[in-house]
Structure 1
Amino acid sequence: MGTWDIGPFDNDTAADFSYTVDEAPAEKRADVLLAAFREVTDTGEDYLDADLAVEAVAAAALVAAQCPGGDPVTTAYGPEEPIPPLPPELRPAAVAALDRVLGKDSELLELWSESGEAGPWRAGVERLRAVLTGAAAGAGAAQGG
């Protein structure tokens, strides 16, 4: 894992994912993010590959950046092209993917545990999840749900 820090874009795989996001037409960027979430959640109970997990965390950071309380993605390793407004329906998909990344049989979680930096990394992922969960709940309340 070519990783230099604990942030969602602080590794080679996430930087490559940013390029994939940038290469997609603006109207298809939400689809790229959703595909990253589905790659993770569609693994079911199977072992989750670290690269898939990294992409899902990066995608979740992009969705969370558009939520109340979310942090903007300002790293040079994130997408260079602007992310258009994303549909709120991406939020629960992002939460489900993050739950899988933090769950059983996640190679990424294992790698962070072996590195001794699992606590700070996990706290960052849990912060993304909290922002996404809060925004999803707020959207549901605003829609009368």
Structure 2
Amino acid sequence: MGTWDIGPFDNDTAADFCGDLDEAPAGRREGIIRDALTRVIGAAGCLEAPESEEAVAAAALVAAQCPGGEPAHPVYGPEEPLPDLTGLRDLALRALDRVVTDPSELMDLWTESDGGPWQAAIDRLRNTLLPRPPGERLPLG
């Protein structure tokens, strides 16, 4: 099926990644997420779409545990519990920055097909992952 929507879990690669998380022992899940994020940060040359899709899903799992974060997709996200991932916020931000920096196959694919909504979804993830100053309140509704 490939990609069916703009969300971080709305593609086969991300759904498979979440399935792999579910099959992994509980103690390995954070490492799998960390690896998906670091793999794209360190990528030289053109970043391939599958690695980017995994990194976006991993970043979304981190963001889901942050204040204001949206939960993982109820069907395509992981079903098994995840450890506290909030310590990976900076890594997730850096991974998202790399996904939207040339050369990036996923960014190119979305740019070719009106990537505005996809870019807005990435921006929402980034905003959720950004640390908030002490005492700052999230907007209501």
TM-score, structure 2 as length reference: 0.89
Letter in 1 for 2:72: V
1:32-89 per-position Cα deviation (integer Å, ceiling 9, x unaligned): 1100001101114x10000000000000010000000101113301111121222x33
Segments of 5+ residues of structure 1 without an aligned counterpart are 139-145
Amino acid at match of 1:18: C
- Aligned CA RMSD, in angstroms, stands at 1.5
8 Å contact from structure 1 (residues 65, 71) kept in 2: yes
1:82-101 matches, cutoff 5 A: 82-86=81-85, 88-101=86-99
CA–CA distance in 2 between the matches of 1:75 and 1:134? Answer: 26
Q: Give the 4+ runs in structure 1 shifted more than 4 A.
A: none
Unaligned 5+ residue runs, structure 2? 135-141
Task: Give 1:125's match in structure 2, choosing from 113, 122, 125.
Answer: 122
The aligned counterpart of 1:40 is 40
Q: Distance in 1 between the 2:25 and 2:61 partners?
A: 16
**What is the total number of aligned residue pairs between the two structures?**
134
Question: Which amino acid is 1:132 matched to?
Answer: L
Give the fraction of aligned pairs with identical amino acids, expressed as a percent.
56
Q: TM-score, normalised by structure 1?
A: 0.87
SS at match of 2:128: helix
Indicate if the aligned counterparts of 1:9 and 1:77 stay in contact, CA closer than 8 A: yes
Kept after mapping to 1: 8 A contact 2:22/2:80: yes
CA distance in 2, matches of 1:16, 1:81: 14
In 2, Cα distance between equivalents of 1:38 and 1:78:
20
Cα distance in 2 for residues equivalent to 1:36 and 1:71? 20
Work out whether residues 9 and 75 of structure 1, in 8 Å CA contact, stay in contact via their aligned partners in 2: no
> Using the alignment, how far apart are the partners of 2:131 and 2:68 within structure 1?
9
* SS of 2:82 mapped into structure 1: coil
1 CA distance for matches of 2:73 and 2:58? 14
- Letter matched to residue 26 of structure 1: A
Q: How does 1:25-64 map to 2 (within 5 A)?
A: 25-44=25-44, 46-64=45-63
Aligned with residue 112 of structure 1, among 91, 110, 113: 110
